[in-house]
Amino acid sequence: MYKSLIRATATFGAAALLATTAFAGDLIINFDDPNPKPKAGFEAAVEKFKAANPDINVTVNINDREAHKTAIRNFLSADAPDITSWYPGNRMAPFVNAGQFEDISDLWASDPNLSTSFEAIKPTMTIDGKQWGVPYSYYQWGIYYRKDIFDKMGIAEPKTWDELLAASKKLKEGGVTPITIGTKFLWTAAGVFDYLNLRTNGYEVHNDLTAGKIKYTDPRIKEVFVKWKELMDAGGFVENHATMSWQDALAPFVKGEAAMYVMGNFAVASMKDAGLTEDQIDFFQFPEITPGLPRAEEAPADALFIPAKAKNKEDARKFLAFMAQPEIQSEWNKTIGQLPPNSKAAVGDDKFIQEGFATVSTASGLAQFYDRDAPAEMAKAGMEGFQEFMIKPDRLDKILERLDKVQAKVYK
């Protein structure tokens, strides 16, 4: 009643001023994943919204993911859509601070679904005590491995650090490189770093480091690299990783030349595309390093935001509330093979999604990923440092000192 009253007033006001588009209820959405499945999942959700709101005229623009990352800086001020996809955590901070995103705390407070079913993920959507977007999906990270190779060599899923090292040595002796990785685009190395850090020092240290409260030369962070070195010495990572993208690095995994991959769940689709069957691949949580430390996980989320300059904020809020509903999130994430942030939504029955859900729903904390939790400039320098360490481990001290210098500059 109240809402329709506002709506009536708004339309009346607009009509009185000018016969504008406010009547038609145009809603423009910029989305950022043109790959077949993500596109299909998103479009199906939009179709349902259209069916439920026939009076709203929805237009969707789908951009390439990398292109979207730079384009958003322009369209937010020059040609704002009513909804845009973006990332939570520190990645949304520049836009929130510049006043480019709409504060939607009101929606989080008033919508019964949003206010009750998103407790776990709410902190990552929050800056200055206000909420700025609605998450539609997230996914687990962990170690994907060649089950057939493990079985053949008689290796069980490692639960502890020592087991992981032992498994690596065994693989190496059998002529298989333990872990594949492609660091050309840097972020894959951050996944390894984050897990070693989360398992060695825990969630608080991850957050303090990315918030600039701990130095890189801190003994706790140095310890992370000691562990990393142990892993490298136990047989370690594929060679030439600096020239490979994460997809290139699938090749040794598919060929059976490497047996493990520290990755996000999106990689499963590519593994299957490359010819591996469901029986050949499996997943385990990154093993425990410091015994008894509460287990935190990497679980980056994708979200939808309203630009401050959106023209149709009312329908945009309606859209966000709609996309937060459990049925919509279940369906959408089933299509894209990821996890719904809504705790009441059903999780897909794919084995990796099930394992992923078991992993993240029992985690003591969820990290967004190094390059989303740390400010961009720090993230770039940090990930270059990780890559350099993987190639020249003896330069560690120099690298960490350099990162301290960048840190001092970035968080001033």
- Interface ranges with other proteins (CB under 8 A): 61, 63-64, 66-71, 73-74, 76-79, 94-95, 98-100, 183-186, 239-243, 245, 247-248, 250-251, 255, 274, 308-309, 371, 376-377, 379-380, 384-385, 387-388, 391-392, 402, 409
Bridge partners of 143, per DSSP, are 262, 284
Looking at the Cβ atoms of 152 and 409, the one nearer to other proteins is: 409
> Which residue in 220, 164, 199, 185 sits closest to 69, CA to CA?
185
Name the residue with tokens 């969820």. 366
Q: Closer to other proteins at the Cβ: 87 or 195? A: 87
Structural tokens at position 373: 């939790």
The secondary structure element, H or E, covering residue 387 is helix 376-391
Q: For 374, left (φ over 0), alpha (ψ -120 to 50), or beta?
A: beta
List, as one string, the DSSP characters of 278-322: TTTEEEEPPPBSSTTPPPEEE--EEEEE-BTT-S-HHHHHHHHHH
CB of 49 to other proteins, least distance (A): 23
Q: Which is nearer to other proteins, 211 or 274 (CB)?
A: 274
Q: Which residue has the tokens 């003591």?
A: 364
- We find the least distance from the C-beta atom of residue 120 to other proteins, in angstroms, to be 27
Closer of 298 and 371 to other proteins (Cβ): 371
| Residue 268 near residue 352 (C-beta atoms within 8 A) | yes
- CB of 96 vs other proteins, minimal distance in Å: 11
Residue 306 Cβ vs other proteins, minimum distance, rounded to whole Å: 12
Query: Least CB distance from residue 157 to other proteins, whole Å?
Result: 27
Helix (H, G, I), strand (E, B) or coil at 126: strand
235 contacts 177 by C-beta, under 8 angstroms: yes
Nearest residue to 247 via CA among 320, 183, 321, 169: 183
- Could you tell me the smallest distance in angstroms from the CB atom of residue 136 to other proteins? 21
Q: Tell whether the torsion through CA atoms of 190, 195, 198 and 200 is positive or negative.
A: negative
> Quick one: 158 or 235, whose CB is closer to other proteins?
235
Minimum distance from residue 122 beta carbon to other proteins (Å): 24
**For other proteins, the closer CB: 163 or 404:** 404
Looking at the Cβ atoms of 286 and 386, the one nearer to other proteins is: 386
148 token code pair: 């057939």
